[in-house]
Chains A and B, each alone.
Chain A
Amino acid sequence: METHDEDLVVICDRERLFGEPIDDLAEEIREEIDGEKLTLEEHPNGTERVERHGWLVQHSLWLIHCDQLFDAEHSGQLDQYLTTLSIPRQTDVYVCIEDRGDEARQTLEETYRDRIEVITDKKVLVAKASTYLNMVNPARGTAGKMAIKGWNNAVCTLLEDFGGVNHG
């Protein structure tokens, strides 16, 4: 394992977060990645495929806008993922609340505890994602490769436990 591709799934109906196009945010995260052994691919269509557990679970970074969790129409499936053992613990889930304030943050943290990272600022998002990507990275040698392997194994376990359905 000399190189590795990480996947960022965007579960958000908006084209901009924190006032910036989501593409630009992803690019800012990429710019902070150390070396060339790891790439980050962005998947903007998460909202359309949120029911497809087998597909979603194979993305190690989730970028969710809080409306997706606060809106009853959308929240059911995501709520289930975030409150059960249906995604690897190693997966980082960023819930962007933008300027919704402390109440929104408190509600999310009480509901989903440390399963999610509540993000209030673009800089925090880039800092969290880049820290993750600089550790789960072949450039970190044995430790980085083991971290990748651990995540892969967790995905395999989940797909096996859930019957491997809905991969597409």
Chain B
Amino acid sequence: MVNEWRAIERAGEWAGLDTQQRDEYFVVVADIHNAEISSYGEFENYGEEYHDFLNSRVFSDDRVVDLLQSFGVDEATVDAFATGTVPVAETYHSEQLLEYGLDELVDLIMMLRLFDRYTTVADEPCLESRYRFQKLLFVTNLELKRTQTGSVVDESEFGLLETTGYRYSFRKRSSGPFSRSAYVDKDRLYANGLVEETVISDEGTGEVAEHEHTYGLELTLDGQMLLSRFDSVLGDFDSEILSDWDRAQERAISSLAGKTVDQIRAYIDSETDVAPRETGERLLPPRQATFTGDDDSADDAAEVSVDA
């Protein structure tokens, strides 16, 4: 998680304070926080340990409780502060994500699931590069192209999707299949605090924006929490669209987990005719009929062949 220092403010929002009250609350809480954190010393992490610290040593302080009472905050909320049971992690909302359309949300949720499932299947702490991330998305759509026989649209609750799979189309770059829109969506998840990127190597992979360093990608606590809200849906997969998509993604993960960058390139070359294609040529169209990205607009270019 990043911006952990915002937890104090988020707790104030959770308590229903207005902007002026929040300012007053923050000054009081920061004073207690700074004194207590000095005596506490070191933290292993700013997740659960820090939230416990806030509850036990900051939020439950009489000065905070008295202030909330003076604001007329409801009894149950004041009690949560007084007893040190403020659900700090749950105050990390991801409401900005809800601004996106349903079709976009499905992509983003499946992308979150990709991060989660990859780290589980590969037994890695993170998805080890932007290169691997792009190729996992490509191979997922490739798997769907291999297996799908027709459209499953109209009866679906996801009517915006003509068929299943990521909406990204991929063009050939020197690094292989790449989608700019997928890159932008990954940045959206990062901007919303759902995915974290950290430098894991000072050598690049050759991927776009990964020439000098390699980045590890993983879900933040916010991302894990958001994904967990969809567990019941994703776990059952009574939607045929999501079920096909998820199975294809699982196969893509299994195919690429543990492979090096060179092995992934060789895998894609062995499974497709990407290698002889021209740089800039479109390899796979998006899985949605009405896509708006500049590089993803529909054209007449031949799809990549999976029989090469």
Contact = CB atoms under 8 A, between A and B. Distances in A.
Interface of A: 32, 34-35, 85, 89-90, 92, 102, 105, 113-114, 118, 120-121, 123-124, 127-128, 130-132, 134-136, 139-144, 146-147, 149-150, 153-154, 156-157, 160-161
A150 B42 contact: no
Nearest to A162: B209
Contact of A134 (B23, B37, B209): B37
B2 interface: yes
Given A32-B34, A34-B34, A89-B3, A135 B46 contact: yes
Contacts, number: 100
Contact of A147 (B4, B8, B209, B212): B4
B291 interface: no
Contacts of A118: 19
21 contacts: A34-B37, A34-B38, A85-B187, A102-B19, A118-B19, A128-B26, A132-B5, A135-B46, A140-B37, A143-B43, A143-B45, A144-B42, A146-B46, A147-B4, A147-B46, A150-B196, A153-B199, A157-B213, A160-B209, A160-B213, A161-B209
B64 to A, nearest CB: 13
B198 A153 contact: yes
A140 B42 contact: yes
Given A143-B50, A147-B4, A157 B19 contact: no
Contacts of B196: 150
A89 B193 contact: yes
Given A34-B38, A141-B41, A90 B46 contact: no
B134 to A, nearest CB: 15
